[in-house]
């Protein structure tokens, strides 16, 4: 039986990609399947927490008594999370949020003939950093977990993000390695917390990673 050590806790989890539209049919996104976040959400749920998921487009389904807010863009995810955060005890942000969004071409479909074969240039604008914003408004007693998707200098990047975003714990994955990161059932994490504890975990099922993350935060 799962320990109910998160009973009564209000927990926010973000997951999946965001999609940033450019024209009527095209968008900027990434291959996040939402699996890592779903494992984090279900682990908290099994441990007795009241879980609210803010989900980008994934097609995943969740237990019927879990609150799910479906969003598409980073700005929608930001609005949902900043509204929810004051009433939460903990949040774990696993979503692969697009840092930039294309400056929209418009409501119609861009036609190839418009560029007359000369190629196109798309400009990008900066999206809000949801994790940073939650960290800045974190009150006493609230706990915040961030993820970091890295290909290089994983430990340094994890330490930088932990401090810059006022986190209690950061879980960094090497997205350049087979069996880790986007779209697979396993992950390999370097975990660092605000108390200075560091752990390198072997490649594990995402279900196990999720369970260990809550263990680590609650210890």
Catalytic residues: 30
Residue 37's Cβ-count burial label (10 Å; 0-12, 13-18, 19+) is buried
Under rule CB under 6 A, residue 149 binds ligand PMT: yes
Q: Which of 5, 83, 99, 215 binds ligand PMT (CB under 6 A)?
A: 99
Under rule CB under 6 A, residue 74 binds ligand PMT: yes
CB of 116 to ligand PMT, least distance (A): 35
Q: Which of 57, 129, 138, 201 binds ligand PMT (CB under 6 A)?
A: 129
Under rule CB under 6 A, residue 191 binds ligand PMT: no
- Please count the residues of this chain forming the interface with ligand PMT, following the rule CB under 6 A: 28
Nearest CB to ligand PMT, comparing residues 50 and 157: 157
Under rule CB under 6 A, residue 63 binds ligand PMT: no
Binding site for ligand PMT (CB under 6 A): 14, 32-36, 74, 93-97, 99, 127, 129-131, 146-149, 161, 173, 175, 181-183, 187
């Amino acid at each position: 039986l799962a320990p109910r050590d998160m009973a009564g806790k209000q927990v926010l989890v973000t997951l999946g990609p965001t999609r940033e539209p450019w024209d009527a049919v095209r968008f900027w996104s990434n291959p996040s399947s939402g699996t890592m976040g779903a494992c984090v959400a279900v682990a908290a749920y099994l441990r007795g927490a009241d879980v609210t998921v803010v989900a980008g487009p994934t097609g995943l389904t969740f237990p019927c008594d879990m609150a799910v807010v479906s969003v598409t863009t980073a700005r929608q995810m930001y609005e949902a999370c900043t509204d929810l955060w004051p009433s939460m005890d903990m949040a774990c942000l696993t979503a692969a949020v697009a840092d930039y969004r294309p400056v929209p071409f418009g409501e119609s479909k861009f036609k190839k003939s418009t560029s007359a074969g000369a190629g196109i240039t798309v400009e990008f604008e900066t999206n809000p950093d949801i994790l940073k914003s939650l960290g800045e408004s974190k009150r006493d007693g609230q706990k915040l977990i961030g993820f970091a998707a890295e290909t290089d200098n994983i430990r340094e990047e994890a330490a930088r993000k932990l401090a810059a975003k006022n986190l209690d714990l950061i879980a960094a994955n090497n997205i350049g390695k087979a069996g880790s990161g986007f779209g697979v059932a396993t992950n390999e994490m370097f975990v660092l917390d605000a108390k200075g504890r560091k752990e390198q975990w072997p490649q594990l099922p995402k279900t196990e990673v999720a369970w260990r993350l809550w263990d680590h935060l609650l210890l």
